[in-house]
Structure 1
Amino acid sequence: MAVSLYTVVVDAHDLPALARFWSRVLNWRVVFEADDEIVIGADESTLPGLTFVPVAEGKTLKNRLHIDLTPDDQAAEVERIIGLGARRADVGQGPEATWVVLTDPEGNEFCVLRPKKTLLD
């Protein structure tokens, strides 16, 4: 196939702050930075990355696309990410959900799944 996923683009009001948040969450680094675009990734040659671009309008609805994270220890990772600036969110997932929904500092939802070793259980 002649196509591959390069990056996921995230609309942002404060590009540097949101890029720093996600860099800390993923233990990635800034691989490109300009006034109108910041790209983070594991390194310059590892794909995909996350690209943050400016938007004027605010977020009004639940994201139609979101990031899922798979930690080794869900509870510890949720607390670590909350310590970085995330907040818990209720999007109707219910008490039986095996994932935790959080929002980044600009309100974008993402999920912290149960540990990888139990995903196939």
Structure 2
Amino acid sequence: MDAVDPERLARWWAEVLDHRVESHSPREVVIGPAIDGHPRIVFLRHDDGHQAKNRLHLDLRPDDLDAELERLVNMGARHVDVSPPVEPGWVVLADPEGNEFRIIRPAR
């Protein structure tokens, strides 16, 4: 994932996903699960910032959408308006650098 500040964004996503920072350098930070496994996410320094629609976005499916939404907004995520209107089963947010992702209500 390109980032203006890979260290900050990687730490943010590590907290969201309950991952840990595995390695870091001035140009690259890698996060992964606390136990050995995949996937790992690499954050690369890219000084131009978020400029266009994401080519890839994450969908998070927490046990409690409302609680997770509150937690992520408190961490610095922001709501994103999408057109046409969003289905009631999911919410679109953006991380601190504007990368969009969805929180999806689990199927019952």
**TM-score, normalised to structure 2's length?**
0.91
Q: CA deviation at 1:59?
A: 1.7
User: Which residue in 1 is equivalent to 2:21?
Assistant: 30
Give the secondary structure class of the aligned counterpart of 1:57: coil
Question: Paired residues, what number?
Answer: 108
- Rate the CA distance shift 1:44–1:38 in 2: closer, same or farther, 3 A: farther
- Please point out which of 91, 94, 98 is paired with 1:107: 98
Q: CA deviation at 1:102?
A: 0.3
Identical pairs, percent? 47
Unaligned runs of 5+ in 1: 1-9
Unaligned runs of 5+ in 2: none
Q: CA deviation at 1:57?
A: 1.2
Higher alpha-carbon Rg: 1
- RMSD (CA atoms): 1.5
Q: CA deviation at 1:93?
A: 4.9
- Rate the CA distance shift 1:71–1:93 in 2: closer, same or farther, 3 A: farther
**Cα distance in 2, alignment partners of residues 14 and 72 from structure 1:** 30
Indicate if the aligned counterparts of 1:31 and 1:44 stay in contact, CA closer than 8 A.
no
**Cα distance in 2, alignment partners of residues 72 and 14 from structure 1:** 30
**TM-score, normalised to structure 1's length?**
0.82
- Please point out which of 45, 48, 57 is paired with 1:57: 48
